[in-house]
Amino acid sequence: MSGWFEHQVVDTGRLPLFCFFVAFVAGFGCIRLSVRLVRAKVRWWPGNVRAGSVHIHHMVFGVVFMGIGGVAELAAPLHSLIWRSVPAAVFGLGTALVLDEFALILHLRDVYWTNEGRISVDAVFAAMGVTALLLIGVSPIGVNSVAHDYGLPGGPGETAAIIVIVVVLFVLAGITLLKGKIWTALVGLFVPPVFLLGAARLGRPGSPWARWRYQQRPGKLARATRRELHLRQPMIRVKIRVQDLLTGSHNEESLADRLALAEQARRHYCPGVSRLSDLRRDELDPAGRDVWDKIVGSRSEQLVGDGGVLVGPFNAFVHAPDVGRRLASLGAVLRFGTSIERRLTEVAIITVGARWKAEFEWWAHARMAREHGVSPAVVAAIGRGDEPLFAERDERTVYLVARELTDTGQVSQASYDAARELLGEAGMVELVALCGYYTLISFLLNAFAVPIPPGARPMWPATGA
């Protein structure tokens, strides 16, 4: 064993890589043991690291270790394996801590024990596998060294052939990745013929390749879906069992799971039918009729649909007159009685409506935004969830406040300062209240599945039941 280590690791100059690998594996094992003890609430284990009320993720320590190890590795003498190996071990430990929370970096929220958190384990296993292959002397795409390539016999023809082969391999690798076959691409780095297999076979049904190439080819999409269900999914279930055995069960419900269930529920409702019963004016008690009259009087008769029922959120208002009366009054003040220009008000409203995919709110206010001078391109970009290209600085200022509030519940200092300079402190209160009010309206519209008018085109059409 010592002879193998001396010949395979030390003599080949791979001792720093070996130290990186050992520290990486040990660090991952230790941190997974720690978080499992924390999750099990073992009394004698110290638990999470906190600074006041802030939970300091182990990824933070990983970044520090990577910085120290990386700088020390650069400063170490090239001829000294020992001096290079110690920083490599520190760097390996830091890499393990960072990759163990790769999902946090990707999603920008803590999904450690959810299904989304499994990608961290995938990242660690991929890094571990690649490092092990490099350690035993396997070289990516079969090239041992640049010097070896330059030592090939022949002239420019052979060099051109090598360049063509490398380009072809990169193209095949790109196609394999676009087809959603990440593990196949990783194996192909060390076994190039695998790229041919990955590029030639059908892509996964949710991959970019499938979206671009299979939409007009239902036969291929159906075959890809069957292959996914019958071949890949059983393998994924086995992989998940092994991962959970080694790293702990990722079975907590994530925010994305809850949103997916809500989206699935939304799609099951008929787009022309509300969950709430339709109330006409003559069916209401005096309090309900008073709310009805105030709503119609302060806005217009257009709020009464063909069946004699209030459209949009207003049918909900008359179901609970005490609440509805106050909501209607607040809505009228926020839309028509503030110091904020109507154009900017509509920017905020459609930003909130797009965040919650409130179809009726979008249908009503997207056209109002255009009518009051907001660029159609900006309106369309907000609806798609893209970053709008604003020609007007004040629109961008209001948009950023509305988007940050609906995305995070907070407003960054930079956005706050810009909006306060534009609107003043009273205007800031009005803008935040406006966003909160239309979030409430979005919830009413979505919770009660309020339909858009017949013939209107939904912004976010349901794509299946």
What is the reported pLDDT for 394?
Answer: 92
Query: What single-letter DSSP state applies at residue 114?
Result: B
Residue with tokens 């008769």: 301
Residues 17, 22, 23, 24: what is their CA dihedral angle, to the nearest 10 degrees?
80
Q: Is 416 within 8 Å of 401 (Cβ atoms)? A: yes
Q: Return the amino acid letter for 88.
A: A
Q: Which of 94-98, 201-205, 252-256, 354-358 has the lowest mean pLDDT?
A: 252-256
The pairing of beta strand 50-51 with beta strand 54-55: antiparallel
Band (pLDDT 50/70/90 cuts) for residue 144 is low
Percent residues over pLDDT 90 in the chain: 34
* Dist. CA 194–CA 185, nearest whole Å: 8
Q: Please report which confidence band the pLDDT of residue 369 belongs to, taking 50, 70 and 90 as the band edges.
A: very high
Residues with Cβ within 8 Å of residue 28, at least 6 apart in sequence: 96, 99, 100, 124, 128
* pLDDT on residue 256: 57
Beta bridge partners of 227: none
State in Å, rounded, how far the first CA of the chain is from the last one. Answer: 61
Q: Give 397-435 pLDDT, tens digit per residue.
A: 999 999 999 999 999 999 999 999 999 999 999 999 999
Please give the angle made by the CA atoms of 311, 312 and 315, to the nearest 5 degrees.
Answer: 65
Tokens at 192, concatenated? 């190039």
What residues are paired with 114 via a beta bridge? 252
Alpha helices in 40-80 (DSSP H): 58-75
Residue range 136-140: average pLDDT? Answer: 71
Q: What is the pLDDT of residues 300-314, one digit of tens each?
A: 556 777 678 888 888
pLDDT band for position 269 (50/70/90)? very low
More confident residue, 88 or 239: 88
Q: Which of 45-49, 187-191, 432-436 has the lowest mean pLDDT?
A: 187-191
Regarding predicted confidence, which is higher, 362 or 235? Answer: 362
pLDDT of residue 149: 46
Residue that wins the pLDDT comparison between 59 and 188: 59
User: Distance (Å, rounded) from C-alpha 389 to C-alpha 396?
Assistant: 8
User: What pLDDT does residue 343 have?
Assistant: 93
Residues 226-235 have a mean pLDDT of 79
Do the beta carbons of residue 188 and residue 173 sit within 8 Å?
yes
Q: How many CB atoms lie within 10 A of CB 186?
A: 18
Cα-Cα-Cα-Cα dihedral sign, residues 231, 236, 241, 246: positive
Between these two residues, 65 and 211, which has the higher pLDDT value? 65
**pLDDT of 164 over the 50 cut:** yes
- Taken in order of first residue, the domains within the chain and their CATH numbers are 1-138 (no CATH), 281-447 (1.20.1290.10)
Helix (H, G, I), strand (E, B), or coil: what is residue 55?
strand
Q: What is the mean pLDDT of residues 255-274?
A: 52
What integer best gives the mean pLDDT of the chain? 83
